[in-house]
Structure 1
């Protein structure tokens, strides 16, 4: 009764409560919104932006649904490209149509077409939701255009005058741009990003800025995301790993420009210690055409300097936490620089180079005074980077290690398993966890690492973020070891191998997949696991569809480095009211070429799972909440009618 009295303040009488029940029940019958799944963006902004703009083909399908054969293919292509890149396409059209009258005629035609697509895209939403989504500047005009009937004689003149007035006042371009973004918003109701926004690509900051503007989003953290989050929290081993990767792929200057990270102390150390070192094992590997090759020599020296610091700091953590069982990663003390060899897992190998001026053989994991000063300065720079901290807070606010959403389980990486398919037990700070509980405790400590005011808990949380990045029992790493050192310094490629967790060979077994679904509270029938992290090697005959379609691996393949191995630019997934559509994409060239030639990424459908009955809002998580609200309102209604509560009429 106490709760009903609170609810009565919002619905003070029978009429208001009954009206809300009618509204909510009507919403339950609407088609469910479209969900878009992308993963493993790896800092590749151009391809990410294109996939996001076209909704993995969802917008093209809306255009086809509305116009069919009534509009010529070139016109549909122009319309699609305008919706994907409105500002760029408008500029191109305006340069082509220099005659003012011809341009105005084009504006009229395109606005009418955009109205039609927008009506189709918004048809599954309530009038209230549509109204709340409208851009402020054109809210009234767009609502009138979308609800008006130009085919009705009484409204035709009014309708046309709105469009003509917009053109005469010079606002046509602005209206078109707003319509395009509105169509994109209506076409994809919710975005899921299954991890690894960051990595080798040069523009993660632009991706993060874009994601922060998205109307509805969740993120499942990947190993590279946690690495950056750890760096932003001040975990120095995470910071050095992140800087090493940035140096390797020629992104140090972008870190400086985008996040204001002062790289000068590291540059000085590199020049002081490695001035005469060719740093042949630390070449810059970049496909970015904007990279300035005049920086390559310095970047290679900085690459080596930060790598050595990383190995030292990681060694300190391994010694600090013996229960993490990472002693085989202690390699600096296994080197014999006089012989030029190293012992790895009991076997001797020749080192590719022996120039380690900052490594003391008697105490190899201790930083020199100069290295410590560099680490302290870099850490301060990371902690004080306003943009980096803003992006990190967004990752914590919108992100988690896994998400159960509308009958699907989403995560990056793997659920750590034993060879027999049982959940692997992992010790975290004195207690053992497995399955869902392992995810939950790791997330608990990761959040403490960023937010806790208790210095002891904060340190534990920061350190666990490095564990999440590199440990064999981490759900988002999923390999027996990370052989970074061996890849730099040992020629024998057998030492480079990183065996995967048994999860990856067991996910074709239905009992294993069902056990995972049950562990996370989902039924074994009808639910799916949506999985990021591992590129699917199509060239080798691998398939993203596992266990008869119950598990889908959708590594986006945005990273250009993987495309030669996989044969494609990866997968994205659409889940709409008709079912699931898994699409494979070809590599993306550039926005300029795409807009100029009106050529979209070539995609083809790999898998389509259609439902027998079209999914409605009532079939979703939102539907469950609405039904609970309806039940509460019906209780309130009964209380009014029985006299237990007095109406405020």
Structure 2
């Protein structure tokens, strides 16, 4: 039997009759003529859970836009804002309103009016989907009721009493709050068909774990790994140097709770070691970044974090030196600085220039063998590796990142990646040798992804270091598509005052991405049509207040990291870019800083968002023109071949007998 016949036999099991095959062809053809679903792009969330949640709940302003389209002529601005806030935070807003309305009758009237508005809005946002897709999205508890209400036809009065009685029963059974909550979340679900997270969920902000939990519950999402994400992926795989970097950054931004509370990893041994070993008070270089106006910390707690910060930083520098020694192909000898220190004079030699150190306290470094871990440091590292590899919640989250993530993604003619495609000064693709082979362009990113996956899969194997070393290189190496700089000057920023040494020269990509030809070459390299595709990029905060434009190369390149992280907002001048891509085209959305959930609910404060058209479709884009449409087109072709086989008797129908 040929492979074609085998395939048709398998297809016939799913569609065993002419009638069922014909029905599916009609169904798929109809779906392909629906408007393209809305894609929502976020990047560089950096643990800022509240701001992330708000942008996710409001669909980057998409919900308010739908409310305006339906109710702009009938509701005041205040009423539209109240409805929007209710949809974003239904439980909290209902509780807030119920505390201000005393009369039961008045509250029931509010419920009745609100239910009517929510149902009307839900009908509108559901209109671009098939009934089947909407049905699958319905909350289980109220699925039948919502489906009935969504099918209401106002042009025929025959069932008006039926619909009114449904609403009355919801009120009389005291289920209005639960029903309003369910339909609000359904509206959130329907305004965005698919979510893209273009890297950096972790570090800086306090709640990356909550962000992962939220994404795990999302109906349709993909993730392109960021440099901070792969650092945690390496740590969960057992990379000691990635673990040290994770702890150092967490200490620097005062987020050690993510390690201890969220992931249950004890830092007691590290704290005890730091307290006993680093007995001198260190300079402010290792003080955690704390907004003293917002958070009240005990002085003793700051002191402990500062000591742990320095202790883990020194461990990190030692571990990095060991990798650089055993991986000469990384060409990172200039990053070995502990042996360039004159410990007696308190100076360091970098590029034949002598710099004084701001901190000369190195109690664990042997000047004769500066990269050697002490026995206590070795014990700490071993215990931390075990703790990271056995943290159940961390492993669950990192496994999700591997399952849903990738180094890059081609999706609906667009190329999504977090950092860069490493380039040489002339615009050619930078090459990098991994073991015996040399890679560049798309092949390099594919190889990096292969190494990342093998590093996780082989985390309990003896030869895991060959993969884990490259994962660390992805964090800090010159040819890394995620780092995108010549070198990471972490040591200099801690120990040298002269800012000349702090410079981290960017890969030529970041200048060349303004050039149309460069962007077209990159799109072509990844198999996309450069005349209509876009590169959607994160990683580098867009300094809008300095005049930087997030839309580059005549629209071929869109950078959507505007600074979710509070640590960046003083330089970017805003709180993040997001991108929407619906059937009418692309819109770039810039956001002002999010204050608090309480402010959003009580004062009906929404993030002030500004939309900017990136690319407008000449004709409304349909599902047929998307990646999904291309897959459905192939399915229709196969089903038509099956249909012909039924008609010609090559395959017999399997008609079920009536009982």
Q: Same fold (TM over 0.5)?
A: yes
Unaligned runs of 5+ in 2: none
Aligned to 2:383: 377
Contact 1:277 1:355 in 2 (8 A): no
CA contact (8 A) 1:218 1:399 kept: yes
**C-alpha separation in 2, matches of 1:190 and 1:413:** 22
Q: Write the deviation string for residues 133-190 of structure 1: whole angstroms up to 9, x where unpaired.
A: 1111111111111112356332111111111111211211111111111101100000
> 2:269 & 2:305 partners in 1: Cα distance?
13
- Aligned residues, how many? 649
Q: Distance in 1 between matches of 2:254 and 2:194?
A: 34
Report the Cα distance in structure 1 between the residues aligned to 2:643 and 2:373, rounded to whole angstroms: 71
- The answer to whether the 8 Å contact 2:237/2:459 transfers is no
Corresponding residue number in structure 1 for 2:603:
597
Which position in structure 2 is the counterpart of 1:565?
Answer: 571
Other-structure match for 1:43:
47
Q: Distance in 2 between matches of 1:453 and 1:309?
A: 21
Describe the superposition over 1:237-288 as per-residue Cα deviations: whole angstroms up to 9, x where unpaired.
0000010000011111332111111010010011011122334320110238
Contact persistence 2:44–2:199 (CA under 8 A)? yes
Question: What is the correspondence of 1:449-468 to structure 2 with a 5 Å cutoff?
Answer: 449-452=455-458, 455-456=461-462, 458-468=464-474
Counterparts in 2 of 1:291-310, with a 5 A limit? Answer: 292-294=297-299, 295-310=301-316
Native 8 Å contact 1:149 1:156 kept in 2: no
Indicate how the Cα distance of structure 1 residues 483 and 453 shifts in structure 2: closer, same or farther if over 3 A, else same: closer
1:246 and 2:254 correspond: no
Task: Please say if 1:170 is aligned against 2:149.
Answer: no
Matched residue SS, 2:223? strand
Aligned to 1:229: 233
Aligned to 1:8: 12
* Matches of 2:192 and 2:296, distance apart in 1: 34
Would you say the 8 A contact 1:250–1:291 is kept in 2?
no
Name the residue aligned to 1:505.
Answer: 511
1:148 to 123, 146, 152: 152
- Partner Cα separation in structure 2 for residue 394 and residue 522 of structure 1: 28
Contact 2:562 2:572 (C-alpha < 8 Å) held by counterparts: no
Looking at structure 2, the residues matched to 287 and 168 of structure 1 have their Cα atoms a distance apart, in angstroms, of: 49
Give the Cα–Cα distance (whole angstroms) in 2 for the partners of residues 367 and 604 of structure 1.
52
Runs of at least 4 residues off by over 4 Å: none
- For residues 317-355 of structure 1, the C-alpha deviation after alignment (integer angstroms, 9 at most, x for no partner) is 111101101110000111111111001122110000111
CA distance in 1, matches of 2:111, 2:75: 17
Is 1:196 the counterpart of 2:200? The answer is: yes
Following the alignment from structure 1 to structure 2, what is the Cα–Cα distance between the partners of residues 372 and 647?
A: 69
Q: Which residue of 1 aligns with 2:321?
A: 315
CA offset digits 1:427-457 (Å, max 9, x no partner): 1122100000000111101001111378255
> Alpha-carbon deviation of 1:461?
2.0
- Partner of 2:638 in structure 1? 632
What is the TM-score normalised by the length of structure 1? 0.98
Which one of the candidate residues 561, 581, 584 is aligned to 2:587? Answer: 581
TM-score in terms of structure 2 length: 0.97
Residue correspondence of structure 1 range 84-99 to structure 2 within 5 A:
84-99=88-103
SS in 2 for 1:609: strand
Q: Which residue of 2 aligns with 1:268?
A: 272
Q: Deviations 1:298-327 (Å, cap 9, x if unpaired)?
A: 000000000000000011111110110111
Alignment of 1:385-464 (within 5 A): 385-452=391-458, 455-456=461-462, 458-464=464-470
Task: Output one character per residue of 1:76-108: Cα deviation in whole Å (capped at 9) or x when no partner.
Answer: 100000111111111101111121111111111
1:213/1:22 Cα in 2 relative to 1: closer, same or farther (>3 Å)?
Answer: same
Secondary structure class of the residue paired with 1:69:
coil
Q: 1:456 to 1:441 in 2, by over 3 A?
A: farther
1:448–1:457 Cα contact (<8 Å) kept? no
Can you list the C-alpha shifts for 1:484-515, whole angstroms capped at 9, x where unaligned?
Answer: 00000001000000000000111122221111
2-structure distance, mates of 1:160, 1:366: 77
Flag structure 1 segments of 5+ consecutive residues without an equivalent.
Answer: none
Contact 2:415 2:535 in 1 (8 A): yes
Which residue does the alignment assign to 1:75?
Answer: 79
Asked if 1 retains the 8 angstrom alpha-carbon contact of 2:240 and 2:319, the reply is yes
CA contact (8 A) 1:279 1:301 kept: no
- How big is each residue's C-alpha offset from its partner over 1:57-81, in whole Å with a ceiling of 9 and x where there is no partner? 1111111121221111111100000
- Any conservation in 1 of the 2:542–2:562 contact (CA below 8 Å)? no
Tell me the SS of whatever aligns to 1:421: coil
CA contact (8 A) 2:544 2:572 kept: yes
Give the conservation status (yes or no) of the 8 Å contact 2:238–2:459. no
Q: Name the structure 2 match of 1:528.
A: 534
Matches within 5 A, 1:341-356: 341-356=347-362
Q: How does 1:74-153 map to 2 (within 5 A)?
A: 74-149=78-153, 152-153=156-157
Deviations 1:540-576 (A, max 9, x none): 1110010000110110410112111111112100000
Work out whether 1:277 is the aligned partner of 2:281. yes
Q: 1:616 aligned to 2:622?
A: yes
Q: Which of 22, 29, 35 is the matching residue for 1:18?
A: 22
RMSD: 1.3
Query: Mean alpha-carbon deviation: is it higher for 450-459 or for 113-122?
Result: 450-459
1-side partners of 2:47 and 2:518: how far apart?
Answer: 33
Q: Which residue of 1 aligns with 2:559?
A: 553
Q: Distance in 1 between matches of 2:295 and 2:284?
A: 23
> Secondary structure of 1:201's partner?
coil
Deviation for aligned residue 1:640: 1.1
User: In the alignment, which of 338, 360, 363 is matched to residue 357 of structure 1?
Assistant: 363
Q: Secondary structure at the match of 1:455?
A: coil
Q: Is the 8 A contact 2:555 2:614 kept in 1?
A: no
1:643 correspondence with 2:649:
yes
On the 8 A contact 1:149/1:159 being kept in 2, the answer is no
Partner of 1:487: 493
SS of residue in 1 equivalent to 2:610: strand
2:185 is matched with 181
Q: In 2, distance between residues paired with 1:574 and 1:69?
A: 25
Please give the secondary structure, in 2, of the residue aligned with 1:56: coil
Which residue pairs with 1:339 in the alignment? 345
Distance 1:409 1:243 in 2: 32
Q: Distance in 1 between matches of 2:91 and 2:290?
A: 30
SS of the residue aligned with 2:222?
strand
Question: 1: CA distance between counterparts of 2:114 and 2:386?
Answer: 52
| Secondary structure in structure 1 of the residue aligned to 2:613 | strand
